[in-house]
Amino acid sequence: MTARFTFDLTATDGMARTGVIHTPRGDIRTPAFMPVGTAATVKAMMPESVAATGADILLGNTYHLMLRPTAERIARLGGLHRFMNWDKPILTDSGGFQVMSLADLRKLTEAGVTFKSHIDGSKHVLSPERSMEIQKLLGSDIVMCFDECPALPADRDRIAESMRLSMRWAQRSRDAFGDRPGHALFGIQQGGLERDFREESAKALTRIGFDGYAVGGLAVGEGQAAMFGCLDFATDMLPRDKPRYLMGVGKPDDIVGAVKRGIDMMDCVLPSRSGRTGQGFTRHGVVNIKNARHADDPRPLDEACTCPACRNYSRAYLHHVFRAQEMISGMLLTWHNLHYFQQIMGEMRDAIAQNRFAAWESGFHAMRAEGDIAPL
């Protein structure tokens, strides 16, 4: 344990990196996958079960929590860690992305964003200063700068204007965050898929100085090839001695491709959301448990997986509880999916440390290409 936030890069293999982020609330092994606990819960999971899957850190959503139950209420109740019974690190987003995608009647100005709650229509303001205040009230360990992100495709003028606004907001976020030992503030690189704007953004952020750097504005509909093409140059523009975080990614093969390109942290709702819609991620790709082929299948979802869903239950059972809309369906599939994502991260950390990432990656793709096991 340490009282400060530090990052030790322990090994690299090509562009891929492994290391440890030290925080007062515990270590985060990188590359790290962060399950998303949107409304102070990873849906369908007890926090001790999330920890059992191997997660070192969770993500919480500022936008959702500020509206309900409110950051002030969470602060009065001892902060987000105590409120949701999770004592390991928590990263909170700034609310900027979700206010643009979820809120009603948004109005964007230099000062910030005014909007109406999608829950009850109440009026709110988010600005760099208010976002820093909310994330402090929540007690977040890793705080994200308040930024703005245009949906892609967008024209170059719109991307540049938005990126420069985000860089001014990054400075205001830095000023409002102040000096908080043991807590980190991450800057967010913007600039769409444009190399020159990504460079301009990286320079602006590095000049301000942050504890970590996120690649923002990707995974917003541009497709995997375009995202990887951008990461090929965008990641390396960010300081090598700080954690690099790719926001909102992704599917297993997106995650592997991002790690290959030098990303240290990622988050996505996919393993939990898909778990609730009957999709299981396995070494052999995606299994749709609702398909009739599983109805009489006594085999586990993945015979090599050590999660409780695979150790103790058959495909036939998972199929039945999904069809019957029993709550345990989402619970078991979410547990399996989070376990699988964490297993990939662990395998990549080991492979990078042992300088065999390329071989591991070929095996990962070869196994997925085989597809699901044949029906009985």
Smallest gap, in angstroms, from Cβ of residue 331 to Zn ion?
13
Residues 6+ apart with CB under 8 A from 235: 15, 215, 244, 261, 262, 263
Task: Give the whole-angstrom CA distance, residue 154 versus residue 170.
Answer: 22
Residue closest to 357 by CA, chosen among 19, 12, 34? 12
Size of the site for Zn ion (CB under 5 A): 5
Q: Is 344 among the residues that bind Zn ion (CB under 5 A)?
A: no
Stretch in the footprint of Zn ion (CB under 5 A) among 112-120, 179-187, 245-253, 299-307: 299-307
Q: Which of 57, 58, 305, 344 binds Zn ion (CB under 5 A)?
A: 305
Q: What is residue 104's three-state secondary structure?
A: strand
Of 93, 211, 297, 302, the active-site residue reads 93
Stretch in the footprint of Zn ion (CB under 5 A) among 154-162, 249-257, 308-316, 341-349: 308-316
Q: Is 259 among the residues that bind Zn ion (CB under 5 A)?
A: no
* Helices and strands of the chain, counted as H and E runs: 15, 16
Counting every residue, how long is the chain? 376
Task: Give the whole-angstrom CA distance, residue 65 versus residue 51.
Answer: 21
Stretch in the footprint of Zn ion (CB under 5 A) among 91-99, 105-113, 146-154, 303-311: 303-311
CA distances from 238 to 215, 245, 295 (A): 9, 10, 50
Q: Is 45 among the residues that bind Zn ion (CB under 5 A)?
A: no
Stretch in the footprint of Zn ion (CB under 5 A) among 78-86, 207-215, 231-239, 309-317: 309-317
CA dihedral 317, 318, 320, 321 (to 10 degrees): 110
Smallest gap, in angstroms, from Cβ of residue 339 to Zn ion?
5
Task: Give the whole-angstrom CA distance, residue 351 versus residue 139.
Answer: 34
Cα three-residue angle 277-283-284, rounded to 5 degrees: 80
Q: Which of 40, 138, 310, 345 binds Zn ion (CB under 5 A)?
A: 310
Q: Is the link from the previous residue into 250 a cis peptide, with omega within 30 of 0? A: yes
**Which CB, 149 or 305, lies closer to Zn ion?**
305
Q: Is 315 among the residues that bind Zn ion (CB under 5 A)?
A: no
**Which CB, 43 or 118, lies closer to Zn ion?**
43
267 catalytic? Reply is yes
**Which CB, 51 or 165, lies closer to Zn ion?**
51
Smallest gap, in angstroms, from Cβ of residue 312 to Zn ion?
10
**Which CB, 219 or 310, lies closer to Zn ion?**
310
93 catalytic? Reply is yes
Q: Is 307 among the residues that bind Zn ion (CB under 5 A)?
A: yes
Residues 6+ apart with CB under 8 A from 134: 62, 65, 66, 71, 95
Q: Is 336 among the residues that bind Zn ion (CB under 5 A)?
A: yes
**Which CB, 259 or 307, lies closer to Zn ion?**
307
Paired tokens of 99: 């206010």
Paired tokens of 203: 């320079």
Q: Which residues are annotated as a binding site for substrate?
A: 93-97, 147, 190, 217
Binding footprint of Zn ion on the chain (CB under 5 A):
305, 307, 309-310, 336
Active site residues: 93, 267
